[in-house]
């Protein structure tokens, strides 16, 4: 049967909308050597020979894949060891592995919330948290970014049986950090649960690298989600909390129950990465030096920096064309940055998303700054 005309039109529209982005992607793939200021490998652990070796050795010892879901026969000793280590590191009773952060957020929200729940989310939360709330069937409200009085206004009006406050720890496009103290106080005052997704803070923030919730126990932050594909350099995610909470999620999170367990080799390499994070603070310190240096130099050049002290350093260019022009120029110089446009960020908030890593050298950062300086020299401020 031929595809209907309406469908053909829909597909054509989508194609047109995406065409610029796709060309962009091809060009990135085709170019050979890149100075990467777009990724999330903040500590350089994806390329650490010890982590790489642990993954290879893990595959030899435990198999290339888990072969089944966790609750059938896919959950191996190495998964258990990683869950224990993650629980200890974050100061929680238990941790539970998921295959990706996206699936962790879908699963946790779907397991904990239903139509009698109201979910309160920061406006700039990650897409997976928004999608998880939709999937759960809960009533969803979004509060202004990092605005606790707006959250309080919403909480005070809630008539739901259960209230759940949800926030990114470090916001992925802005690099700023949630006010955990304020979120914790409001959640306790209004008898709400607090869930923090610290995908970008784990491994980077805190004296022990255990993220923006370091120092907050599970009385304040009962539900903690972390991902393993960013600072830990591998892949996957976990949720950490009290034993009863984790047991509930184990039984009811469909994205945990109905999917193949994380490959055991990934669990092995993640365990190696976690050991490095815990015993070698020097990577975190080098990263912090890079952040300070970049900000100081960028400020001197007059670049439109955001208010971030994390490895995510947005340059707020505002206009989409301007953002693409700058990104293209950097591409020509062999430098890769994120060109972030609506709908990923609000209209008028297009930006370059620059990320720093402990793996960079000071001269890498100088090359980036020279590139940005040349963008500034040739800058055309385009009409919106």
Show which residues are catalytic.
Answer: 172, 200, 230
Secondary structure element (H or E) that encloses residue 244, with its range: helix 243-252
Total of residues contacting ligand PLP (CB under 6 A):
14
Phi, psi of 233 (to 5 degrees): 80, 5
Around Cβ 365, how many Cβ atoms within 10 Å? 21
**Based on the number of CB atoms within 10 Å of its own CB, is 267 exposed (0-12), middle (13-18) or buried (19 or more)?**
buried
Asked if 100 contacts 254 with a C-beta cutoff of 8 angstroms, the reply is no
Asked whether residue 227 is marked as a ligand-binding residue, the answer is yes
CA distance 54 to 270: 8
* 121 lies in the site for ligand PLP, by CB under 6 A: no
Q: Are 303 and 337 in contact (CB under 8 A)?
A: no
Residues 20-49 touching ligand PLP, rule: CB under 6 A, are none
Tally the C-alpha atoms within 13 A of residue 78's C-alpha that lie toward its C-beta. 23
Q: List binders of ligand PLP among 345-374 (CB under 6 A).
A: none
Residue 96 contacts residue 246 (beta carbons within 8 Å): yes
Q: Is 190 annotated as a binding residue?
A: no
CB of 157 to ligand PLP, least distance (A): 27
Our CB check for ligand PLP shows the closer of 103 and 358 to be 103
Q: Does 101 count as an annotated binding residue?
A: yes
For residues 369 and 384, what is the distance between their CA atoms, to the nearest angstrom?
26
Nearer to ligand PLP, 118 or 231 (CB): 231
Q: Which of 75, 126, 286, 351 binds ligand PLP (CB under 6 A)?
A: 126
Annotation-wise, does 10 bind a ligand?
no
Sheet holding 162-168, edge to edge: 94-98, 237-241, 223-227, 193-197, 162-168, 117-122, 139-143
Quick one: which segment of 101-109, 175-183, 251-259, 281-289 binds ligand PLP (CB under 6 A)? 101-109
Q: Is 311 in the site for ligand PLP (CB under 6 A)?
A: no
Site membership for ligand PLP, residue 100 (CB under 6 A): yes
CB of 224 to ligand PLP, least distance (A): 12
Q: Which is nearer to ligand PLP, 118 or 237 (CB)?
A: 237
The CA distance from 142 to 121, in Å, is 5
Question: Considering the complex, what minimum distance in angstroms separates the CB of residue 15 from ligand PLP?
Answer: 26
DSSP helix/strand/coil, 288: helix
Contacts (CB under 6 A) with ligand PLP, residues 180-239: 197, 199-200, 227, 229, 237
- Cα 243 from Cα 192, distance rounded (Å): 19
Instruction: Confirm whether residue 310 is marked as ligand binding.
Output: no
Q: Binding site membership for substrate: which residues?
A: 25, 126, 344
* Residues making contact with ligand PLP (CB under 6 A): 100-102, 105, 126, 128, 168, 172, 197, 199-200, 227, 229, 237
């Amino acid at each position: 049967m031929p595809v209907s005309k309406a469908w053909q039109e829909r597909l054509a529209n989508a194609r047109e909308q995406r065409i610029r982005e796709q060309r962009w992607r091809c060009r990135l793939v085709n170019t050979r050597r890149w100075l990467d200021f777009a990724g999330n490998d903040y500590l350089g652990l994806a390329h650490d020979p010890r982590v790489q070796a642990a993954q290879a050795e893990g595959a030899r010892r435990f198999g290339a894949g888990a072969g089944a879901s966790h609750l059938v026969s896919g959950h191996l000793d190495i998964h258990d060891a990683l869950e224990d280590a993650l629980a200890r590191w974050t100061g929680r009773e238990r941790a539970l592995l998921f295959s990706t952060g996206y699936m962790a957020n879908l699963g946790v929200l779907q397991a904990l919330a239903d139509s009698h729940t109201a979910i309160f989310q920061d406006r700039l939360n990650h897409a997976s948290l928004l999608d998880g709330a939709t999937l759960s069937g809960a009533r969803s409200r979004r509060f202004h970014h990092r605005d606790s009085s707006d959250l309080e206004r919403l909480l005070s009006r809630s008539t739901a049986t259960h209230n759940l406050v949800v926030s990114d720890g470090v916001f992925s496009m802005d690099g700023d950090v949630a006010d955990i103290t304020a979120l914790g106080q409001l959640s306790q005052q209004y008898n709400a649960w607090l869930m923090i997704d610290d995908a970008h803070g784990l491994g980077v923030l805190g004296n022990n690298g255990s993220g923006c919730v370091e120092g907050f126990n599970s009385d304040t932050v009962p539900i903690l989600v972390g991902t393993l594909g960013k600072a830990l350099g591998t892949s996957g995610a976990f949720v950490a909390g009290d034993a009863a909470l984790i047991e509930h999620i184990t039984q009811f999170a469909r994205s945990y129950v109905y999917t193949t367990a994380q490959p055991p080799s990934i669990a092995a390499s993640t365990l190696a990465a976690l050991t490095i994070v815990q015993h070698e603070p020097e990577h975190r310190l080098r990263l912090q030096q890079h952040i300070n240096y970049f900000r100081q130099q960028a400020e001197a050049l007059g670049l439109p920096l955001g208010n971030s002290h994390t490895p995510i350093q947005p340059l707020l260019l505002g206009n989409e064309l301007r953002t693409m022009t700058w990104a293209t120029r950097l591409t020509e110089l062999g430098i890769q940055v994120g060109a972030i446009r609506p709908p990923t960020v609000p209209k008028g908030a297009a930006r370059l998303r620059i990320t720093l890593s402990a793996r960079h050298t000071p001269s890498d950062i100088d090359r980036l700054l020279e590139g940005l300086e040349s963008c500034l020299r040739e800058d055309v401020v385009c009409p919106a």
